[in-house]
Every structure is written in C-alpha cells, then in structure tokens.
Amino acid sequence: MEFKGAFTALITPFRNNEIDEDALRKHIEYQIAAGIDGLVPCGTTGESATMTHDEHKRVIRICIDQAGGRVPVLAGTGSNNTSEAVELTGFAKQAGADGALLITPYYNKPTQAGVVAHFKAVAGETSLPLVVYNVPGRTGTNVLPETMGRMAREIPEVIGVKEASGNINQISEVIEYCGPDFSVLAGDDFVILPLMAIGGRGVVSVVSNLLPGEVAGLCAACAGQDMTQARKLHFELAPLCRAMFLESNPIPVKTALALINKSGLEFRLPLVEMQPENKSRLQEVLSRLSLL
C-alpha cells in the first residue's frame, strides 16, 4: 500500500456526547465525492484522546464501511502504551484498514531507541503498513531523521511518516535518509507545497475537512510538477491554514464546519467552544473564501 495525495484527518461528530454516526457517514461521503485521496479516522482532529476504546473502534469500523474500498483508510491507532497500540492496530487490521497511523509515545518521553523498540513491537504483532506520526509539539518527543531512517531500514512495516515538526530542514533530511519509496506526508497544511517540492508524497490534512477538493488539487498539482497551479492553490488556502490554528485543533475546524452547515458543533472536555474574538476572525476568513 502506497499512501500519497491528500488524506483528511477526519473530525468525529458528536451529539449529546455520543458519536453521531449519520453525520460521520455524511462527512465521509462529502470527502469522497469531492475527490479526497484517503481518510484518517481517530487522529488528533478526531478527538481520539477523549474517546473510549469501544468508541475508537466504532469510528474506525464506520469509516472503513462507508469508504467501501473507494479510498484507503489509514486508521489512527497510536498510544503511549505499547501494548495498547498493539491492540488497537491489530483491531484496525482485522476491521480492514489499509494501514495505521501511530503517534509516537507521548508524556513518557522515550529515547530514540525506545521509539524504535515501540514500532518494532507493534510491527511484530500486527504486520500492517504503519505510518509514524511525529508531532513533537504535542508529544514532547521528536523523532530525529536518523531514527526515521533506521526504522525505514529495519522495520518493513514502517512505510511512511506524517511529519508535523514544522521544520522543513528536518523534513528534507527524513526524505534523504528514508529514500524515494518512503511516504513522507505533511502534518501541517501550510507545508504541503515545500514538502512535495522536495519529494514528499502528500498530506494528512485538517483543512480538507472543509475543502477536500482544493487540498487534493494542490497535492495533484505538486505531484504533476505544475508549480503555477500549486502556488496559486497554496496561497488561496494559506488564510484558512492559519485560521485552523487560532485555537487548539480541532476547535477551529469543527467550528468552521458548523458555520457552513456541514456538521453540528460539539466537543468533549477539556475542549470548549472558540472564544468570541477568535470565532469572529474565523468567520472573516470563511467569508473571504465565499464559504459562508
């Protein structure tokens, strides 16, 4: 399985503190109809940190069922507990996911050797294509390019990385050390163009919850080396990319989807609704993009 293009980091719609299955299925259909390349349930954007294991598994099942093989599903299955990551990844494989996205262990801050051991353990127990999710701003641990290169060589199941360090030099070194067959995906929408210009394969996107066709189009333009179109889309999307981080993800994207009547607005604590001043700034961006 090769992961490339635009993968949406799906929100998880809630209603009365329960998973809103109908809304989730409609959102997945919206994504596929607009031309998205793949789907990622149960990531940060999906509020996986506040879902029970049963809810986590249910969301993965719904996504796989609704996608129906039309686009690949890269299921979020990471944990800072290796045995828990093994269990969730094994479930994703059994459910029919095409691969698993695993955040690096957070809070306990493993060494680089510990990160490698973690992924070796998951790979050894599950034998499913694995994409490392490197987001040091949330985990407290940065997977260094040398470590990614080691995993690419030593763990056949590790076939890619979602790189959310925001450091284009680090991303360049990851591509250099991991080789041309390794799928390096942007973990931030604002680096899609520079990342793909140096050999990256695509993005796991927050913005594509709102504009799946445009983000997929940007990835396609980059892959086809149409830099004029790629730059055009990059700058058109830039204000929305910034707006998605006016507050912690996924608060802005869920708020935006509610404002354009694509989803209800409900979070799980400790996430709360946007502060009024930030919501006004978000509305201004949406208005300028003719989304309201």
Q: 252 lies in a domain?
A: no
User: Is the sign of the CA dihedral 98, 144, 176, 197 positive or negative?
Assistant: positive
CATH number at residue 199: 3.20.20.70
The span from the CA of 17 to the CA of 50, in Å, is 11
Tell whether pTM > 0.85.
yes
The span from the CA of 185 to the CA of 142, in Å, is 16
Catalytic residue among 4, 57, 93, 162: 162
The span from the CA of 103 to the CA of 139, in Å, is 8
* pLDDT score for 2: 80
133 an active-site residue? yes
Q: Kind and range of the H or E element at 192?
A: helix 192-197
- The total number of structural domains in the chain stands at 1
Q: 285 lies in a domain?
A: no
Catalytic residue among 57, 93, 133, 262: 133
Q: 222 lies in a domain?
A: yes
Q: Which residues of the chain have pLDDT under 70?
A: 1
The residue range of the domain holding 65 is: 5-226
**Which of 47, 103, 96 is closest to 71 using CA atoms?**
96
pLDDT tens readout for residues 171-218: 999 999 999 999 999 999 999 999 999 999 999 999 999 999 999 999
Q: 263 lies in a domain?
A: no
The span from the CA of 89 to the CA of 157, in Å, is 12
Q: Which residues face 181 on adjacent strands?
A: none
* pLDDT score for 9: 98
Q: 246 lies in a domain?
A: no
User: What is the percent of the chain with per-residue pLDDT over 90, rounded to a whole number?
Assistant: 98
